[in-house]
Amino acid sequence: MSLGVLGGTFNPVHRAHLRLGEAARRHLGLERVIMIPAGDPPLKHSGIAPARHRLAMLERALEGQEGFEIATLELERPGKSYTVHTLEALRDAHPGVSLWFVLGADALAQLDLWYAPRRLLELASLAVAQRPGSARDLADLVPASLATTFRERAPERWVHVSGQELRTLSFDPLDVSATEVRRRVARGEPIGGLVPAPVERYIAEHGLYQEAA
């Protein structure tokens, strides 16, 4: 059995997040995708809505969606949240299950700056979603210091010395970002096409993102 892991601040969750999760589920043959809202992400510090709101919006966005679940372990963990600790916890909770960590091409290119990246590559296979204009060959994305830990390389599939994989993920992205959603809210502009309707209502009801992003 294989599970996908899709983390983020989800500040707020939007339609592109959901499309990416569904693309990963289909492309990788996953039983389900675990969405993990970040608690205290080390590389982002300002303009983040309180965790309870981000979780509530994610719950509303996934209501009725098959093949998705939410894990709150990063919200419950005190201090900084690191992906490697999250993957270790998921491995312990799901012994014998293959994990696929989904990330963007820009994140893969900076993976050497993450906490314990070599350990991360041992814990889960990676599926990298390509944005328009991104390099298609993984050799153009994987940091040089980590590239040496892979024993097999093809343009769209590498195999790590641990046996975990790195694959490109076919993904037709939407032109939407959380930053744009927040800016639109601050300007009083509609966001109905960018986020699920329950998320739009929640933002309005709780007065989120009223200040410019």
Instruction: Tell me the average pLDDT of the chain.
Output: 92
pLDDT of residue 46: 62
Q: Which residue has the higher pLDDT, 41 or 180?
A: 180
Q: Is 146 left (phi over 0), alpha (psi -120 to 50) or beta?
A: alpha
Mean per-residue pLDDT, 171-185? 89
Selection from 37-41, 105-109, 167-171 with the highest mean pLDDT: 105-109
pLDDT of residue 171: 79
pLDDT of residue 30: 97
pLDDT band at residue 132 using 50, 70 and 90 as cut-offs:
low
pLDDT of residue 186: 94
Residues 128/18/177/87 CA torsion (nearest 10 deg):
-50
> CA dist 196 to 54, 65, 154, 165, Å?
14, 12, 37, 32
User: What is the chain's length?
Assistant: 213
The letter for the amino acid at 84 is V
Report the distance separating Cα 132 and Cα 147, nearest Å. Answer: 23
CB-CB contact of 97 with 2 (8 Å): yes
> CA dist 77 to 7, 72, 82, 90, 137, Å?
14, 9, 10, 13, 36
Question: What residue ranges do the domains of the chain occupy?
Answer: 2-175
| Closest residue by Cα to residue 5 from 122, 90, 110, 73 | 90
CB-CB contact of 108 with 128 (8 Å): yes
Q: Domain 2-175 - what CATH class?
A: alpha beta
pLDDT band at residue 43 using 50, 70 and 90 as cut-offs:
low
CB atoms within 10 A of CB 31: 12
Mean per-residue pLDDT, 136-151? 93
